[in-house]
Amino acid sequence: MLHIVACIKQVPDTKIIKMNPKTNTMDRASAPAILNPYDAHAVEEAVRIRNRYGGIVSVLTMGPPPAVKAIKKCIEIGADEGYMISDRKFAGADTLATSYALTKAIDKISQITPVDLVICGKMTIDGDTGQVGPGIARRLDIPPLTSVKKVEEVNTEDGYIIVHRKIEDGHEVIQSSLPCLLSVEKEINDVPYSTFPNMLKATRYEPHIWGVADLEDVDIKQLGLKGSPTIVAKVWAPPKPEGGKMLEGKPAEQVNQLLSVILEKKELFEVKGGAE
């Protein structure tokens, strides 16, 4: 039976988040916590693959207790099971430590039902790195397929998958053995509105919640802040650009001024030297 694990994260909505202009810090309370939008596409793709080939979809997240809400959102999308790892020892993890913790959880989930496919969103909107997916793949020693925009075929009998992977000027068609890991672009699918039965299921659903002690063969040194090679040394507000010159007058006058500005900047139109 095809078992797909989608890795998800609850994130603050960075589109709405407000900055405190005095302290240059984020006012986290200003932003609602949401399911990372890219992960919604990952879960939706997992559900579509299951609907096409049969099997089950599990979702996995690491986070503080309120992240249960993100799992419930995935149940609404159509996932079958939800797992959460939650422990203070995970706190402060960078992408390397996060991929380690999630891999330990996937190992445990595999003991319940062997995992054929792991799916992640392209990146999270709070971290923006896209590194956790490939990290999990390396730790599980399965091939990572990033920037996936289409799943063409899943063949559990012969143990392979064919996907389209986005590259800079087109895409490539890749075949990989199973199990493997996909990280998906948002253009891979549209996430439909939740159905009433799924909403009802989500309300009642209680995810499996594990602490560090529930996982096996965990090297504590590789978790959380301790296991994170990168540290954030400094945070600052992006430099405020210098305000421009405002063009005054009636629209026709403004347009005339603008035109002369552009024509004056002749050097802009000369052919660039150097590496081009």
Partner 1 sequence: MNFEEYSGVWVFIEENDRNIAQVSLELLGAGRRLADKRGCGLAGVLIGENVTSLSSVIFENGADTVYVYDQPIFKDYRTESFMKALLHCCEKHKPEIILYGATSTGKDLASAVATDLPTGLTADTTELDVEEDSGLLLASRPAFGGNIMATILCKKYRPQMATVRPKVMKSPIPEPGRTGELIEENIQLDESDIRTKVLEIVKATTKKVRIDEADIIVAGGKGLGSSEGFVLIHHLAETLGGAVGASRDVVEAGWIEHHHQVGQTGVTVTPKIYFAVGISGAIQHLVGMRNSSLIIAINKDPNAAIFEACHYGIVGDAFEIIPLLIEQFKQAMAGEEVKHAGKV
Q: Which of residues 165-204 bind partner 1 (CB under 8 A)?
A: 165-177, 180, 186-187
User: Total number of residues binding partner 1 (CB under 8 A)?
Assistant: 83
Q: Which of residues 12-31 bind partner 1 (CB under 8 A)?
A: 12, 14-15, 17, 19, 24, 26
Bridge partners of residue 33, in order along the sequence: 12
Q: Positive or negative, the Cα torsion across 153, 3, 201, 34? A: negative
Q: Does 218 bind partner 1 (CB under 8 A)?
A: no
Collapsing DSSP to helix, strand or coil, 87 comes out as: coil
Segment contacting partner 1 by CB under 8 A, of 39-47, 75-83, 211-219, 254-262:
254-262
Q: Which of residues 134-153 bind partner 1 (CB under 8 A)?
A: 134-135, 137-139, 142-147
Q: Does 225 bind partner 1 (CB under 8 A)?
A: no
Binder among 96, 191, 212, 215 for partner 1 (CB under 8 A):
96
**Distance in angstroms (rounded) separating the CA atoms of residues 274 and 116:** 49
**Distance in angstroms (rounded) separating the CA atoms of residues 149 and 121:** 11
Q: Does 107 bind partner 1 (CB under 8 A)?
A: no
Q: Does 221 bind partner 1 (CB under 8 A)?
A: no
How many other CB atoms are there within 10 angstroms of residue 3's CB atom?
A: 22
The nearer residue to partner 1, 207 or 224, going by C-beta atoms, is: 224
Rg of the chain (C-alpha set) = 23
Tell which residue, 176, 96, 95, has the closest CA to residue 143.
176
Least CB distance from residue 46 to partner 1, whole Å?
Answer: 20
